[in-house]
Structure 1
Amino acid sequence: MTSQDPNASPTAEPTPADAAPAADAGTPDLHAELEALRQRNAELNDQLLRAVADAENTRRRAEEEIAKVRKFAVESFAESLLPVVDSLEAGLAVQEATLQQIREGAEATLKQLLAALSRQKITPIVPAAGDRFDPHLHQAISMVPSDQPANTVVATLQKGYLMAERVLRPALVTVAAPK
């Protein structure tokens, strides 16, 4: 017979020596799970690094493209103005031009210039008398008494211009004063 401690309970916890075989039984599963998690972590880290590198490359390419656009944005516009310059130089080269020839040359050159502006989506703002005053498109130079309703355009003093729906220069107008 073995002697037992009278204070010991029958459900006493196993000693560390008794617990070791049970821990060893679960250890291979834990090591395999840990290794799988490490491998998954390495895969995710690799994906993250690739995504960061891809985002950086995309940002760099976008910055280079923006720099090119800024550098050459005026190129198309300049090319469309070169025929206008040629026409003006040709007109000035004629020494004995008549007034009629000068006028025809100026009209032809103006047509070239307007076509060049149109190709660049630059369109005139020409409010007609009686149009409602629009502070986004017009600049009122003065208010004058008129038979027209208040805040309507009485006269256009200078055309304005839009470039792709953005105001380059507002039209200068006089506006009907309130009665």
Structure 2
Amino acid sequence: MSNENTPPDVDDTAAAEGHVAAENFGLSEDGTIDTAEDPRDARIAELEGQVAQLRDQALRALADSENLRRRTDREKEQWSRYAAATLAKDLLNASDNLRRALESAPADRDSLDDAMKNLLVGVEMTEKEMLSAFEKHGIAKIEPLGEKFDYNFHQAMFELENTGKPAGTVVQVLAPGYVLHDRLLRAAMVGVAKGGTPEDHAPVDTTA
């Protein structure tokens, strides 16, 4: 019968202590370094990768949302600025006709009867109101007489010689042009000086 108070064998105690030390320092029981990876480290790395991926997806979604908002705002602004373009184009001919009616009236209105005078006054007021409405909505008239021809805003209908103006100068306006903000509604129909002395090639004074 064994004695319960018998002290533990010295060899058993040393082995137990060596096992604990090996665990503390990452050593196997035979004293070699344990190189096996802790499965918890692999799980942590996996979770960190998932977090990084989700973060990247969230940032991309946020950027897409911001781009969509900006594009929507830009399209809304464009629509607001140019919504009147179609209506304005339809009214341009009416404005031209009012101007032609006034230009066809006699210069000396004193010779006209009261009814005709009142009619012309009414036409003038109508034209003024129409131009005021155009201006209110960002529509501006192009009156390029005397300016250098610009194909972006002018349409050349014919050329005139011997005008005394540099070549390419607008010498006659058949119909004014119009722009809506920075967008062309209708090019001004013009006559352009042909020949002459181009502005970029003025004659050199040789009398000195």
TM-score by length of 1: 0.60
1:112 matched to which residue of 2?
129
Listed as ranges, the gaps of 5+ residues in structure 1 are: 1-16, 79-96
2:146 matches 1:136: no
* Superposed counterparts of 1:1-179, under 5 Å: 22-23=33-34, 27-28=37-38, 31-61=39-69, 65=73, 74=83, 98-129=115-146, 131-145=147-161, 146-179=163-196
Cα distance, 1:139 vs structure 2: 1.2
Cα distance, 1:178 vs structure 2: 1.1
- Whether the aligned pair in 2 keeps the contact of 1:161 and 1:171 (CA below 8 Å) is yes
RMSD of the alignment, in Å?
3.5
Q: Give the aligned residue type for 1:165.
A: D
- Whether the aligned pair in 1 keeps the contact of 2:85 and 2:185 (CA below 8 Å) is no
State the number of aligned residues. 141
Deviations 1:85-128 (A, max 9, x none): xxxxxxxxxxxx94333333322222222122112222111012
Deviations 1:56-96 (A, max 9, x none): 44455456556756776527997xxxxxxxxxxxxxxxxxx
Deviations 1:121-158 (A, max 9, x none): 221110123x2222222111111112222221121111
TM-score by length of 2: 0.53
Listed as ranges, the gaps of 5+ residues in structure 2 are: 1-27, 88-113, 197-208
- Whether the aligned pair in 2 keeps the contact of 1:77 and 1:120 (CA below 8 Å) is no
2: CA distance between counterparts of 1:137 and 1:128?
A: 12
- Whether the aligned pair in 1 keeps the contact of 2:85 and 2:180 (CA below 8 Å) is no
Inter-CA distance 109–77: structure 2 relative to 1 (3 Å threshold): farther
